[in-house]
Amino acid sequence: MNGNEINWDLDSERELWRSICAPNSWFSEDGAIGATHPRSLWYFIQFAWGVEFYFRKHPDQVRWFIDSIHGPFITWLQTYLLQWKSNCQNGGTDRMYLAVILPRGFGKTVSATKSASIWTHLDDPDMSTLYCSATSELSEDILNTIQQVVEGKDEDSWFGWLFGNWKKGAREWTKKFCHHGYRQARNLTEPSLDITGVDIGMTGYHHRQHWWDDPISKNKLREGGVYLRSVHEAVNASWNALQTNGLMVFVLTRYLDGDVAGKHLKEEGIATWDGMPCPNMTLFSKIPMGQGVWHVYFLQTENELTGEPVHPLLWDKKKIAEAKARDPEDFACQQQNNPGTGERAPLIESQLPDLFMDYKDFRFTVPIESASVHLDTAFKTLKNIRTGDFNAIGVWLKDARRNGIMYLDTDLLRWSNEWREEEFNDQVVAVLVSLRRRAIRVSHLTDEIEPGGKAGTYKNRLIALAKQAGCRIHPDRILQLNRGGTNKKARIRTSIGHWAENYVRILLHKDMQGKWIIPPVVLELFNQILRIDAVEHEDIADALADGFISEIWTQPQQLYINESAFEGATPMQPGDEVMRDLSGHPFHPGPSLELFKRWDLAQENPNDGHRGTDGELMPRDPV
């Protein structure tokens, strides 16, 4: 051995890396084995799985696995996997729910579904894992890759060197499942590694952990029909098959507001949220943040607050701009994980707070001309009931100053898919009575026309309900509209354009700390108007869109000079138009003597451009 050679003990090195890369195999502060290296999963992915060696062999490949992005994510994942293991070892009976929501191309399947799941087997040889995907073929691909690694066939991986060949001594080893040779208990019926897909359903086994990796196929989603329902049924079947203290993991990107992540995060709630801030406040409409069960790690391709790329090696500003231009809806889903938003959305979430108005300020400063009440009656058809459509009631309050501003009375917003007709009618009466007690006249009441040749039947019921509530609404102002067809979303989108143009105020209350109180039904409305093309149900937005039909709302031609004049000025009176022309300001004329002189001059010269030959006021262009 010359002086440049090092007598390296490979066995000691292997033992060291085995202790680093396996959970519960590191040394604690007192020197005892049983702790876990703080970056155990990171090093397992990098070396035992072989990501690092793959990139070294393929320098032409973009290095998606970088410490600044994946370091915090892998630490988060390791923390919760260890917490789940510890809870089970201590007799815990609760499940662990993890949602990994990362953009396309960020390596979520390799780093989470494949690597992290096998990492959990290292200190528990009898672990059973089910891999689930959109199709059984995709699940087979996942299992095949894992089998190649754990039997030592992957040349980029240290797995065989560190932990041996798990195919050796395996009881069964097929492309659909295997009982690997590392397993100790031979009496377990659940395979060590098993697969399923949306297309084949569940077996009768009860695994310790289920990993759902992108359960939705984009191409099949385009076909419509019952596909999405079949996906939800498959995930629900998985939920029932999982052991009672098992681990459920979603590893996916988003497609729709009602996709797998959207449905479960909303209905079961979020316990913790890490990574980047949640861009969708409507996820908390049913269960407040922190009171749910899902632990979420979330990343986007572009930071929506700063406009900067999150992973510049994969997506720089140029690529992001190109992707947005090519398909903004797809970019919003699969890169931003925020379906229904994007460049073409008429309203974005950051604009909403500018529309909020405190009820206290409203009551003291805003004169109300009338109210319009808008209904969505899903109970009328069995088809709507079966699809889970909602009944909705919304109220717009019209500003008496003719400035075009409509005030959404959120205290009177109603929404349910459980009401029968009698219950819905009771809600209508309650809303009308509330308006009557506040001395607010109801100018219009809108509803959707009945299908199947039954048009007008419910209108008679509405006339009776108005009388019951003590409201006088002329039958001609109870409008039954045709909201169906392909123009439904276009109607909603057009109405939301008026929100973006600042013609809407959302009336809300504040708590003792001065923070806005946003009820769940209002959050659901926000979801519907912000994600028009992604939501499953748009019943509230559909009903409220009636507030901007021509029979009820007209865009004002008078443009005001400043915001105070726009919202807080005295209502215009006859002659104000002429006074503005004389003084140069609509609500603040000049000195009285000068004003009178200008008025006299205007009377002596009636054809000065303000009046026609017959003395009638001529139309003026907006100022």
Bridge partners, residue 479, by sequence: 446
Highest mean pLDDT among 76-85, 385-394, 422-431, 608-617: 76-85
Specify the higher pLDDT residue, 379 or 308: 308
Place of tokens 């572009």: 302
Q: How far apart are CA 443 and CA 158, in angstroms?
A: 75
Q: Residues with Cβ < 8 Å from 119, sequence gap 6 or more?
A: 21, 22, 23, 40, 41, 44, 81
* pLDDT in the model for residue 589: 39
DSSP H/E element including 527 = helix 520-530
Closest CA to 121 of 41, 33, 205, 238: 41
Q: 446 by DSSP, 3-state: which?
A: strand
pLDDT in tens, 450-508: 766 566 678 888 999 999 999 889 899 999 887 765 577 788 888 888 898 889 999 99
Mean pLDDT to the nearest integer, 247-273: 92
* pLDDT in the model for residue 562: 43
Here the tokens at position 546 are: 């009636």
Q: Which amino acid is at 5?
A: E
pLDDT in tens, 118-163: 999 999 999 999 999 999 999 999 999 999 999 999 999 999 999 9
Q: 122 by DSSP, 3-state: which?
A: coil
Other C-beta atoms closer than 10 Å to the C-beta of 139 total 24
DSSP H/E element including 394 = strand 391-399
Closest CA to 543 of 375, 379, 316: 375
Give the orientation angle of helix 520-530 with respect to helix 488-500, to 10 degrees. Answer: 110
* pLDDT in the model for residue 327: 84
pLDDT at 278 over 70: yes
pLDDT at 599 over 50: no
Q: What number of CA atoms fall less than 13 Å from residue 26's CA on the CB side? A: 15
Q: How far apart are CA 339 and CA 317, in angstroms?
A: 20
Q: Are 159 and 119 in contact (CB under 8 A)?
A: no
608: left (phi over 0), alpha (psi -120 to 50) or beta: alpha
Percent of the chain with pLDDT over 70: 84
Name the DSSP class of 211. E
Query: Rounded to the nearest 5°, which phi and psi values hold at 196?
Result: -155, 180
pLDDT at 580 over 90: no
pLDDT at 578 over 60: no
* pLDDT in the model for residue 554: 87
**β-bridge pairing 516-517 and 504-510:** antiparallel
Here the tokens at position 534 are: 């992604």
What DSSP string runs through 58-101?
-TTS-----HHHHHHHHHHHHHHHHHHHHHHHTT----EEEEEE
Q: What number of CA atoms fall less than 13 Å from residue 88's CA on the CB side? A: 18
Q: How far apart are CA 192 and CA 190, in angstroms?
A: 7
The structural domains of the chain, with segments of one domain joined by +, span 10-299, 300-344, 349-548, 570-623
Q: What is the mean pLDDT of the chain?
A: 84
Mean pLDDT to the nearest integer, 297-302: 95
Percent of the chain with pLDDT over 90: 56
* pLDDT in the model for residue 584: 42
Mean pLDDT to the nearest integer, 163-169: 95
pLDDT at 597 over 70: no
Place of tokens 């919304």: 394
pLDDT in tens, 97-122: 999 999 999 999 999 999 999 999 99
Mean pLDDT to the nearest integer, 58-65: 93
Q: What is the CATH number assigned to the segment(s) 349-548?
A: 3.30.420
* pLDDT in the model for residue 430: 94
pLDDT at 370 over 90: yes
